[in-house]
Amino acid sequence: MAYRRLLLPLTGTAAGEAALATALIVARTWNAHVHCLHVRVDARDVAPLAGEGLSGAMIEEMMAATERESGERAGRVRGLFDRFTAASGGVTLANSAETALKTDGPTLSFESIAGREEDVVAQQSRLYDMAVVPHPEADEDVSSSDALHAVLFDSGRPVLIAPRVAPPVIGTRICHAWNGTAESAAALAAALPWFHRAEAVQILYADEYQRRGPAVEGVLSYLRWHEVKAEAKLFKPITKEVGAGLLGAARDFGADLITMGAYSHSRLRQLILGGVTRHVLENSDVPVLMCR
């Protein structure tokens, strides 16, 4: 198995530019295609939010302003895409599978459509091998965070969260965070192609992180069946933060990719109380492959 088709919800921010560079690194690794999707705000969605007491003319003006702002943002995103492709050597633009499959090397395409970003991105990503999503905290870009959670919860596909700054390489040294959950197992299976290419793989585990499910010894046995050599590494929370301990262990290993399950607890509980997923999303400086 290889990753052949990647979806990138593209924003016009620094986070979007870093995600585009990260996606291209992945595409070069797998000789894959990256489809960049920008979702414009549909002005028709504004009318129901306008509230009572507004005249028809006021609502029309509000919709027209939304349309202008959405068009301007789409133009900035397209400009970012064009500048990036012009500066990236050896990348072919391809709008069809036939063209992409005849090309030796990574390919890119761009599409801008109107709709609700979280709905469009989650639905579109179901027919891609992986979604690459901009960092959710960079530049306080709320829309990219919406896209991330939509793909995690409603696509059934793995998600690669790009770091704030694109790394030089991805997937030579990999840490997988194991806690026995179904989400962790899904991420383990999704990461198998990466494991086969990696120089070294480490399975991170901790008593404070473990949930009901198989212990780390079972993971090592599973990977041996897939001819993947890995070592187990016990990590400890840092100042009671399991996520901080996990990231510290990954840095000690020199990991350039972390793979893990996302939101073993509900998203609401993690947003209120904090959690490993939230800590890793906010603080990792390397790409993170997540499955829900």
Do 267 and 185 lie in one domain? The reply is yes
- The CATH code of the domain that includes 19 is 3.40.50.620
Do 151 and 247 lie in one domain? The reply is no
31-52 pLDDT, tens digit per residue, is 999 999 999 887 666 555 555 5
Do 146 and 191 lie in one domain? The reply is no
Do 153 and 182 lie in one domain? The reply is no
Do 223 and 263 lie in one domain? The reply is yes
0.75 cut: is pTM over it? yes
Q: How far apart are CA 108 and CA 37, in angstroms?
A: 11
The pLDDT assigned to 164 comes to: 92
Contact call for residues 133 and 59 (beta carbons, < 8 A): no
| Structural domain that includes position 250 | 173-291
State the pLDDT confidence band at 146, using cuts at 50, 70 and 90.
confident
166 is a domain residue: no
Among residues 161, 188, 220, the one where a domain terminates is: 161
Number of DSSP helices (H) and strands (E) in the chain, helices first: 11, 11
pLDDT of 124 over the 90 cut: yes
Do 157 and 177 lie in one domain? The reply is no
4-21 pLDDT, tens digit per residue, is 999 999 877 778 899 999
Among residues 161, 194, 224, the one where a domain terminates is: 161
Q: How far apart are CA 206 and CA 204, in angstroms?
A: 7
| Number of compact structural domains in the chain | 2
Q: What does the pLDDT average to over 163-177? A: 96
Contact call for residues 93 and 109 (beta carbons, < 8 A): yes
Do 80 and 110 lie in one domain? The reply is yes
Among residues 161, 196, 224, the one where a domain terminates is: 161
177-198 pLDDT, tens digit per residue, is 999 999 999 999 999 999 999 9
Do 94 and 148 lie in one domain? The reply is yes
pLDDT of 1 over the 70 cut: no
220 is a domain residue: yes
State the pLDDT confidence band at 265, using cuts at 50, 70 and 90.
low
Do 86 and 177 lie in one domain? The reply is no
